[in-house]
Structure 1
Amino acid sequence: MISNKIKSYAKINLALNVIGKLFSLHKIETIVSFVNLHDLIRIKKTYGTKHQISFNGTFSKNIKKDNTVKKLFDILDEKKLLNNQKFEVKIKKNIPQKAGLGGGSMNAANILSFLIKKKFIKLDQKQIKKISNLIGSDVILGITPISTIMSSKNVVKRFFKCPKFYTLLVRPNFGCSTKKIYSGVKNFTKSKFDNPKKTMFGFKFLIDQENALEKIAFLKYPKLKKIKLFLENIKNPLFVRMTGSGSVIVAYYRSKRDCELAKVQFRRKFKNYWCNTSKTI
């Protein structure tokens, strides 16, 4: 059977607030976009007795056996939704791990969307949300990878034709543990995104927002603060903000030229750090 190719785009949090805690999980609201950096997934039906999941590429090392893609297929098998159909999945990892870019979650989201689109499984919106949440809280964001706002009530609203930014994504030579970052949350923010609007994707709104996890990440990893301060002072970015729980810091630009020049300057200063120029999609 011919392999199908899926581009699994990296997620970025343009803004993020922690607005409370429910049992062991924190409640967040977030404004999300996607950039044209992506993992490449090849998937095809196989006639074997088990699903075959493998990873290759720059960021394929140390991926756990109990990864998001395996969790997805385990759930689908447990619920007997695949009717004993098995799949071979090969994923080229171009998105760094523990970066705040949602690489693994977006892989699971895109595969779930593919299986629904190709009618291997049939799910309604309620079932999609339930399965997504069983894998990870941000999986639902990648089901349709466009500009998205998730409110404090866990309602997801998507928007078309939002403003685009050129982005410089920078990651030091370490990742951030999501669990470790969230464990440092002591204060909660009043909800700001419960009335989602397209204007929230504009520069004038976003510049006054924040990622509430930044302060915690900067205390635990001072190098991240150093990176942000450096990025704020090269080629006049619109704003600079950490995505997710880190460790990637994103500088946002109107101009592709300024974004590319900023990348050159950054590499001169931080030679061993990963960086990527992209654009929101």
Structure 2
Amino acid sequence: MWEVKSIKIKAFAKVNLGLRILEKRDDGYHNIESILQTISLFDELNISLAAESIVVTANNPELPLDETNLCYKAADILLKRTGQKRGVIINIKKNIPIGAGLGGGSSDAASVLTGLNLLLSLSLNKEELRKIAVSIGSDVPFFIDGGTAFVSGRGEKIEPINKKIRFNYLIVFPGFSIDTKWAYEKINFLTKRENYITIFNCYFNDSNSGNLELLLKNDFEEVMLGEYVELKKVRRFLIQNGAVSVSLSGSGSSIFGIFDDIMKMDNALSFFAGKGYWAKEAFSIRSSEIPQFALE
């Protein structure tokens, strides 16, 4: 019988369509509420089976390749919990900026779980994969399905949103990373209960970007825009170049603009490229479009 020995898989980025930071938990995390949306920007992973050990390689020298790497953690935990005596080689082609609030590391880890589940014919269902994912990182469970979802707790409680959301995004990375743990330590306020995001207050359809001013409120913005003048500049440039709404993604450092005019978005992309920024156009990816992979 033909044995599949490797898989190529796309690990999609996400943006936060709003983020509220609630009370600090006993475990040191904060409870949050957010709407997460996968977008068409992705890392590329090549996962191969080996006789022994876990090896991670990457095209980005800033990425750790040891057991602190989330892909390494994902492979290690999955192999141990399923009793597999195999090795794994993981090559990561990073297209998603590191420390940008776009969930690249978490998405990569989820893709390793999904990929190894297929390669090793483990037949784990998505709920079983999510239970493993939560031990790797708060955002990792979301990426098992991706799409659009309301998340709460520390990010592990996921409620899919099945309405068709097809926004056009211009993602701008200012050239520096923001450490998530440091960002939470800088937060000196909590969202008031009456201002919490609820998915019932958010309206979406294919022809209307909805009540974005209500939705795109990120509690990190006040702090991060105060810390980094460059973020204020990027936000202002996006608005000046036609974005209908602008927000920080996660704790940053990426800022995205939503555009309802593709020509304006193309022009804005040229504007940022001319100023030397990393900028990419993207659109929403639905859960039905995930995973995208090729077996070899």
The 2-side partners of 1:40 and 1:263 are apart by 23
CA offsets, 1:190-212, max 9 Å, x none? 26345568736862233223011
Question: Which residue of structure 2 lines up, in the alignment, with residue 174 of structure 1?
Answer: 176
What 5-or-longer segments of structure 1 have no aligned partner? none
Superposed, 1:28-177 pairs within 5 Å as: 28-46=32-50, 48-56=51-59, 60-64=60-64, 65=66, 66-79=68-81, 81-118=82-119, 120-123=121-124, 127-152=128-153, 154-160=156-162, 162-177=164-179
2:23 is equivalent to residue 20 of structure 1: yes
- 1:245 maps to 251
Instruction: Give the secondary-structure state (helix, strand or coil) at the position aligned to 1:101.
Output: coil
8 Å Cα contact 1:4/1:44 also seen in 2: yes
Letter in 2 for 1:230: F
**Over the residues paired in the alignment, what is the CA RMSD in angstroms?**
2.2
Note the residue ranges of structure 2 that are not aligned, 5 or more in a row. 286-296
State the shift of 1:36 in Å.
0.9
Measured in 2, the distance between the counterparts of 1:197 and 1:35 equals: 22
Any conservation in 2 of the 1:39–1:103 contact (CA below 8 Å)? yes
Say whether residues 1:222 and 2:229 are aligned partners: yes
| Local SS of the residue matching 1:188 | coil
Report the alpha carbon displacement of residue 109 of structure 1 after superposing the two structures with TM: 0.7
- Number of the residue aligned with 2:278: 274
Letter in 1 for 2:224: A
TM-aligned CA deviation for residue 168 of structure 1: 0.9
* Alpha carbons of structure 1 residues 159 and 197: separation in structure 2 relative to 1, 3 Å: farther
The letter of the residue matching 1:151 is: S
Aligned: 1:6 with 2:9: yes
Q: Deviations over 1:88-113 (max 9, x none)?
A: 21111111000001111100111212
Q: Structure 1 88/152 Cα, relative in aligned 2: closer, same or farther at 3 Å?
A: closer
Give 3-state SS (helix, strand or coil) of 1:263's partner.
helix
What's the CA shift for 1:9? 0.7
Matched residues in 1 for 2:94 and 2:79: separation? 25
Q: Secondary structure at the match of 2:218?
A: coil
**Alignment size in residue pairs:** 273
Instruction: Return the letter of the residue paired with 1:77.
Output: L
Paired residue secondary structure (2:135):
helix
Residue 85 of structure 1, CA deviation: 2.3
Counterpart-to-counterpart distance in 2, 1:250 and 1:132: 27
Give the SS at the match of 1:29.
strand
Structure 1 residue 241, shift from structure 2 partner: 0.5
| In structure 1, C-alpha distance between the alignment counterparts of 2:115 and 2:73, rounded to whole Å | 16
Q: Which amino acid aligns with 1:111?
A: V
Distance 1:82 1:121 in 2: 11
User: CA shift at 1:178, angstroms?
Assistant: 0.8
**Structure 1 residues 245 and 76: alpha-carbon distance in aligned structure 2, compared to 1, 3 A threshold:** same
Give SS of 1:203's match: coil
Q: Sequence identity of aligned pairs in percent?
A: 29
TM-score (norm 2): 0.84
Q: Distance in 2 between matches of 1:20 and 1:11?
A: 24
Give the 5 Å matches for 1:187-266: 187-189=189-191, 190=193, 192-193=196-197, 199=203, 203-209=209-215, 210-234=217-241, 236-266=242-272
Aligned residue identity for 1:27? N
Distance (Å, rounded) in 2 between the aligned partners of 1:126 and 1:167: 30
Contact preservation (8 Å) 1:152, 1:194 = no
**CA deviation after TM superposition for structure 1 residue 116, in Å:** 2.9
Give the secondary-structure state (helix, strand or coil) at the position aligned to 1:108.
helix
Distance 1:197 1:215, change over 3 A: closer
